[in-house]
Amino acid sequence: MKYIDHSNKKKFFISHSSDDKPLVNSFIKEILKIGCGFKDEDIFCTLDPSAIRTGDDFRDQIIENMKKCDYILLFISENYNSSDICKNEIGAAWALEGKRVLPFILPRTSFKQMGFLNVVKQGASITEKREERIR
């Protein structure tokens, strides 16, 4: 935590498939919260039952929170690639200005499966010890 600058608080938007819930929840808890010291209010993730209230249009909440965040983390998997909502989120992520978009591929997913919008970006595999370039 000594390497995290908390004087300029950052906000995260987590783009994921709900089918990858265990892994995404672990990342949020172990890395963002415990490892980096971020709080619930710093992270928007639809896995949090309080993120979207019953009766709210989830699309409005997603757009609003994408606009408010500094970082958009994409957890790309086969589940992610088969979700229309995830495809919309990835497109919106690249269209928004001033956002740092960080694509991560989950186990059993290749860099080629990151999608067209990610082919020019460097991505990271959560199972590799170093970042790899997309070619």
Q: Which residue reads 């990342």 in tokens?
A: 27
CA dihedral of residues 59, 27, 112, 114 (deg, nearest 10): 20
- Residue 64 covered by a domain: yes
Tell whether 4 is covered by a domain. Answer: no
For 41-84, the pLDDT digits (tens) are: 999 998 877 777 777 778 888 899 999 999 999 999 999 989 99
The number of folded domains in the chain is 1
> The domain that contains 27 carries what CATH number?
3.40.50.10140
Burial class for 82, CB neighbours closer than 10 Å (0-12, 13-18, 19+): exposed
Digit-coded pLDDT (tens) for 1-21: 455 555 567 899 999 999 999
In a domain, 103, yes or no: yes
Quick one: CA dihedral 121, 5, 62, 25, positive or negative? positive
Answer yes or no: is 68 within a domain.
yes
pTM for the full predicted model: 0.79
pLDDT value for 73? 95
> How far is Cα of residue 125 from the mean position of the Cα atoms in its chain?
13
Separation between Cα atoms, residue 42 and residue 4, nearest integer Å = 14
Residue 93 lies in a domain: yes
Residue 130 belongs to some domain of the structure: no
Residue 100 belongs to a domain? yes
Residue 120 belongs to a domain: yes
Q: Domain limits at 65?
A: 12-125
